Chain A
Amino acid sequence: MIESMMDGIRAFLVDLEPGTFDLYHIASIVLLLGSIPFGFHFIRHGRIMQDTPTSKIRSVSQGFVELQGKARSIGGKPLRSPGKSQDCVWYDYKVEERERSGSRDSWKTIIEDRSDNSFYVDDGSGVCAIDPNEAKLKPKTIETWKHDRYRCTEFRIDENEEIYCLGQFETEQGPSRDKVTKESTQAQLDSLKQNQQELLRQFDADGDGEIDIDEWNKAREAAKAKAQKMVGDYYEPTQHHFLLKPFNNKYPFIVSSYGQDELTSRYRFYSIGSFIVFFLSGALAITMTLIKLGN
């Protein structure tokens, strides 16, 4: 059966026009060479997903991490998707127009709108900002609808949707309590220097109309004590977490509404598909090379 199928394919290829034959030949070689790296890329990324433990944002260390949580808009103001007017954290919307060329219909994109606002993943222990521009986004919500000769497609990650993320975790620290205390002390002293009357009223202990070194030290201590109290009572050092593209290009930066299991099954399917393409395109390329060589 395989032999008769191969004979049929061979007869089909022999009958092709020389130009079309060369085109098929080149295409088969490109597929042959391209399918193998794709196959291994999907296997490797699938294994990285399976092998990376899920971290909690509040205690995660810097580096390549896996996070899971709800998608939340920054500042609590969700985006409004342009097509379906839904609250979301990310969208990719396009409108295509049908064009007739001969007997075939084709679609030409006339509007493309992709949101580039950052959003948070919130796992209950903390939030981490994600810049969608460099990430591979895999949204679950895909809506397509037609209107006259237009076709609209909207990809969306909705507000509060569960998301799965892989990427480089980085933290930016806000100023420390010490730094804020020093700055606040300095600001008070600067303000006193500007207002000599107030400075004399508060710290000219001997009433000679001048501030000597001891009096100035007292002013400094008072400013420091006030700053320490203020910082102790009201200031909380801030930390901002970000999920970025990994420094090592072999690691993926993925934000997906599909869970880890769904994604890894998909990647397994893609890798098997790539290897099937590799064998089929290889068989085709060899057959065509043999035909070309006259064997």
Chain B
Amino acid sequence: MSIAEFIAGGAVVIAISYIIIIYNGLIRLKNNVERAFANIDVLLKQRHTELPQLVEICKGYMKHEHNLLLAVTEARSHVQDAREGRDISGLGHAETEMRQSLQNLFIKVEAYPELKANENFLALQERISVLEDTIADRREIYNESVRLNNTRIQQFPDMLVARSFNFVELKYLRFKESDLQPVTTSGLYD
């Protein structure tokens, strides 16, 4: 083997190995996005189970707030539909609706001192607020994973491998800016 042949052969080996690394990297990025979504999904399911209990407790005290409670129940169902259909844009809208309806409910609760003093309600409110904060954090990670995936797919030479193997850009999970506020009533009356 001459030195020229070695250099040509070496370059081919390095190029093929680099393509394999790029391909595996794109798979890893896609899996990161899947994992980030699964981490949000598990919290959405948890909240889905907690919300009926919250609505049930509120019903006992808030006899004249039927529309508020209905809004929470409807938002819950919209989130569930979007989740199950893996509809990222729909989930963003449904989450915005959910956060707004919960925020409205918790504001209204201030007018019901007996409900505010109910220990089960307080525990549920606390759990749901914590879940909302964690969902917001994990949404950031999800969007960051999507950004990293989409950036790689647009970069050279990754774009060549991405196009050859049908790696596509993924959608961001967007909430309205105003809905990024934590779902609590603390601070509202300061």
Interface residues of A (CB under 8 A from B): 6, 36, 39-40, 43-44, 47-48, 50-56, 58-61, 63, 125, 275, 278-279, 282-283, 286-287
Contacts and interface: CB of A to CB of B under 8 A. Distances in A.
Nearest to B24: A44
Given A44-B21, A59-B134, A278-B10, A51 B152 contact: yes
Contact of A52 (B14, B18, B32): B32
Contacts of A61: 35, 39, 138
Interface of B: 1-3, 6-7, 10, 13-14, 17-18, 21, 25, 28-29, 32, 35-36, 39, 133-134, 137-138, 140-141, 144-145, 148, 152
Contacts of B36: 53
A246 to B, nearest CB: 13
24 contacts: A6-B3, A36-B14, A40-B17, A44-B25, A47-B25, A48-B28, A51-B25, A53-B32, A56-B137, A59-B134, A59-B137, A59-B138, A59-B141, A60-B141, A61-B35, A63-B35, A125-B137, A275-B14, A278-B14, A279-B7, A279-B10, A282-B3, A283-B7, A287-B3
A264 to B, nearest CB: 13
A218 B137 CA distance: 46
A43 B18 contact: yes
A282 B141 CA distance: 44
Given A43-B21, A279-B7, A282-B6, A58 B137 contact: yes
Top 4 nearest A-B pairs (CB, nearest first) are A59-B137, A53-B144, A61-B39, A59-B134
Contacts of B148: 50-51, 53
Nearest to A61: B39
A59 B136 CA distance: 9
